Amino acid sequence: MDKETGLPEGASTYSAGTNTDPWTEVRIEVPAERIDAAGDIAHMTVPYGIYLEDYRFLEEEIDEIAHIDLIDEALKDKDRTKGVVHIYLEPGENPAEAVAFLQEQYAQAGIPSELTVIPCRNEDWQDNWKKFFKPTEVGQKLLIQPVWEVEGSTSVEPTSDVEPQDVPSTDRKILYLEPGLAFGTGTHETTRLCLQTLEETIRGGETVLDLGCGSGILSIAALLFGASRAEGVDIDELAVKTAVENGRRNGFEGPVLTYHCGDMAKQVSGTFDIVVANIVADIIVLFCETARNFMKEGSVFIVSGILNTREQDVLDAFAANGFEVVSRKADGEWLCFTVR
């Protein structure tokens, strides 16, 4: 059966939009036993319009629904040894770049893969995936609340402001989020690991630098946990715009919360109590060379986005740059380290 990460099996993958530019499907075939890890890598590349096909447990599922007359006989012919990741790139994105990145990441993770690029009809994936992003509790203190889902609303249209009467009844800190096309919804293992580590690390009054800020979820959460100031930097202009808007939704603006677009060495100055990066192993290895420039004495560097197959590469980078591992967390095949 299709394993949902963005769209369910049977959901329409096309709609009659006004945009005449085609979307692009990248179809990735992998061994079935690696489908979850392959999906996680794809999810970090494009956080919307993704779904997985996984037929390993088809017989068990058919047995459970055998009393239902309408069973698609074609499903019984599906290959149980292979899984398929489908991702959809919006008009204007370069499929060649996405394919090259995915091939590199799958090779490093030791996941055999076959990638196919397919033009497809138009779809407003940017809004369609929101139907499946629900309020999410993370750690002991945080609730991530999609801004278009307040007071039981099922609308997928984001709201610009959250009214007091829309606040859910909870003792948790509420982080209102509209991720747009930026990575960071709190549903991915690496984001959860970073959020949990920030919650455990922040005692109150810390300054935080968020490298590769995406939607701004980590830096905003840091402020909700009690940090006094946070900065974020990303090379993606759209991500920075999204992060700024999310900060405002949660009541944070400059100088308490600021974001920069561009290279961190050129955009960020000063030192911080906590530096956090939820990216990919290769970039973390590079960041190890410069992160200390932004760290105070006794500061910590929290990193995630690391598949367990890349653990030794990252540990080697820590050692080469004088970092000591303080903690290691795992969620599935993903790792999060705190070093100083």
- Encoded tokens for 37: 């890890």
- Encoded tokens for 193: 């690991």
Helix, strand, coil percentages in the chain from 3-state DSSP, rounded to 5: 35, 30, 40
Phi/psi at 112 (nearest 5 deg)? -60, 135
Residue 262 pLDDT more than 80? yes
User: What does the pLDDT read at residue 180?
Assistant: 64
User: What does the pLDDT read at residue 49?
Assistant: 62
User: What does the pLDDT read at residue 121?
Assistant: 60
By C-alpha distance, which of 63, 58, 52 is closest to 77? 58
Strands (E), 164-309: 173-177, 207-211, 229-234, 257-261, 272-278, 295-307
Instruction: Kindly give the pairing relationship between strand 136-138 and strand 142-146.
Output: antiparallel
Higher pLDDT, 274 or 183: 274
**C-alpha to C-alpha distance for 95 and 24, rounded to whole angstroms:** 7
For 41-94, write each residue's pLDDT tens digit: 887 766 556 778 888 876 565 444 443 333 445 556 678 899 999 888 877 788
> Considering the chain, what is the average pLDDT of its residues?
81
User: What does the pLDDT read at residue 148?
Assistant: 76
Q: What is the average pLDDT across 147-159?
A: 50
- The pLDDT-based confidence of 100 (bands split at 50, 70, 90) is confident
For 210-242, write each residue's pLDDT tens digit: 999 989 999 999 999 999 999 999 988 888 999
Residue 111 pLDDT more than 50? yes
Question: Which residues make Cβ contacts (< 8 Å) with residue 232, sequence separation at least 6?
Answer: 209, 210, 211, 213, 216, 218, 219, 240, 243, 257, 258, 259, 260
Q: What is the average pLDDT across 26-38?
A: 92
Higher pLDDT, 99 or 9: 99
User: What does the pLDDT read at residue 187?
Assistant: 74
Is the model's pTM score more than 0.85? no
Residue 116 pLDDT more than 90? yes
User: What does the pLDDT read at residue 151?
Assistant: 43
Question: Which residues make Cβ contacts (< 8 Å) with residue 248, sequence separation at least 6?
Answer: none
User: What does the pLDDT read at residue 73?
Assistant: 53
User: What does the pLDDT read at residue 101?
Assistant: 85
State whether the Cα torsion 86-90-91-96 is positive or negative. negative
Which domains are present in the chain?
2-125 (3.30.70), 189-339 (3.40.50.150)
